[in-house]
Amino acid sequence: MTRTVYHDCIKPTLLFALIVFVALLRAQPAPAAGTETLTVAGGCFWCVESDFESVPGVIGAVSGYTGGTTASPTYDQVTKGGTGHYEAVQISFDPARVSRETLLNMFFRSVDPTDAGGQFCDRGDSYRTAVFVSNTGEKAQAEAAKANAQAALNQTVVTPILQQSTFYPAEAYHQDYYKGEKLVFTRFGPKRQKKAYKAYRQACGRDARVKQLWGSAAPFAGS
């Protein structure tokens, strides 16, 4: 008799607890849609980071190094050459707001994809362009964007589509350099990072060359 009464009392209690638990779950905000990443090399990673962080749907961009053989390379090692790495940017985005296809097409129109020796004033292997992919679907999208760019320019596009490898974030001082307030000493004299970045970008001829190639289709020239 005691066992029966005990069970009769606890069942409503458990039911109530279950109802409360389900109600609490429903009250929680819905989980955000999964983000995706796109890794590209477009010359100076400050510029690529600056460009793509302005795109609605892009959550963030990290400057770094990829495509090489040296583990955890430094900026000096990469720019000196011999590590095989590209200066690259890993772009995180919400595919519900901006598609990979859109970002790829924007990327090709933000660089000179006909230049195999670097980008603008930055010469050498680490400054070459590339798109990095992790599966056949991403490769197909990248190849389509490359073909589209080649058709639009009526010139050979040399930007390779490469298998994604380890991405090493660059040193902290490179991240968000384009909007930094730290005072730095440059060939233009002492400047805040964001002003030094603008001076560098203009002097390097990035926007001028992109406008020459792409005209009104250039999404970031002048940013």
Catalytic residues: 44
CB 129 within 8 A of CB 43: yes
For residues 190 and 51, give the distance between their C-alpha atoms in angstroms, rounded to a whole number. 24
Q: Which residues contact 118 (CB under 8 A, 6 or more apart)?
A: 43, 124, 125, 127, 128
List C-alpha distances in Å: 168 to 36, 132, 133, 165, 207.
17, 14, 16, 10, 27
- CA 45-49-54 angle, to 5 degrees, is 155
